[in-house]
A and B are shown apart, each in its own frame.
Chain A
C-alpha cells in the first residue's frame, strides 16, 4: 500500500509521531507501507529547515525512497524559510501537491 502523510496538527506530532515512529521505521525499511509523500503545515515546516536533524534524516530517506517532501508555501513564506529547506524539499499548495503525487499516487492520505 502507498500512503501520503499530511502533518497538520502542531505540537508534539512531528517530533513524536514522525521522529520517533515513522522516520525510524522508514530508515529500517519496516514501516509497512510505501510513503510516497509528506506535506507539512504551519510550524511543522520547521523540521524541513536545512540543518534540522529530523529534516536531514528525512532528506536521506526521501532521496533513497523517492519520497516527496513538500511544505505549505504560505506557511514557509510566513516563517521566512521557503528558500532554506533541506535539499529536495519544495514548497507548494494543494495543486502542487496533487500534481507532484499524480505520477505515483497514494492509496491513502493520512492526516496527522
Chain B
C-alpha cells in the first residue's frame, strides 16, 4: 500500500475524545519489536512509539505515554492515521497536520501533538534504519 492508499483509507473524522478512549486500550498493548526513543517534554510528559514492519509498511503501531488525555488522543490519532502506511512515507508525522486531522485540541494543549509527532518520528527512524540494515544486498 502506498502512502496515498493509506491516506484514502485512514479515518477522516477523528475527535480527541474518541481517540482518547481508544488510546486507553492501545496503551495496554505490549511494545512491538521496533522501539523509538522515549521523548519527553519540559513538563514531564513523555511518549514512545513501537512498531512492527512488514513489506516496508507499518503493520502495527503501539505507543506508551504519560497519562494525559490530550497526549493519549494525539498518539492514538497518529496510530489511526499511519497504521498500514509505507514506513518511508507516513500519512501524518508532524504536529500541524495531526492537529488538522484532530480538531478540538485547544492551543494550550497543542504541545502534546508536537511531543507525539516527535516520538513517532523516532520510531519511524528506528524502523527505516532497521529496514536499511536488513535489505538483501
Contact = CB atoms under 8 A, between A and B. Distances in A.
A80 B39 CA distance: 28
B68 interface: yes
Contact of A90 (B20, B103, B106): B106
Chain A CB within 10 Å, residue with most, of B16, B104, B106 = B106
A85 B108 CA distance: 12
Interface string B97-137: 00000011111110000000000000000000000000000
Interface string A77-97: 110101101000011110100
Chain B CB within 10 Å, residue with most, of A77, A78, A80, A93 = A77
Contacts of B34: none
Interface string A57-93: 0000000000000000110011010110100001111
Interface in A3-17: none
Contacts of B70: 73, 77, 91
B3 interface: no
Interface in B23-73: 43-44, 68-70, 73
Interface of B: 15-17, 20, 43-44, 68-70, 73, 103-109
9 contacts: A73-B70, A77-B73, A82-B109, A83-B103, A83-B104, A83-B105, A83-B107, A91-B109, A95-B43
- For the complex of A and B, list the 8 residue pairs with the smallest distance between their C-beta atoms, beginning with the closest: A77-B17, A83-B106, A77-B16, A73-B69, A90-B108, A74-B69, A78-B17, A82-B106
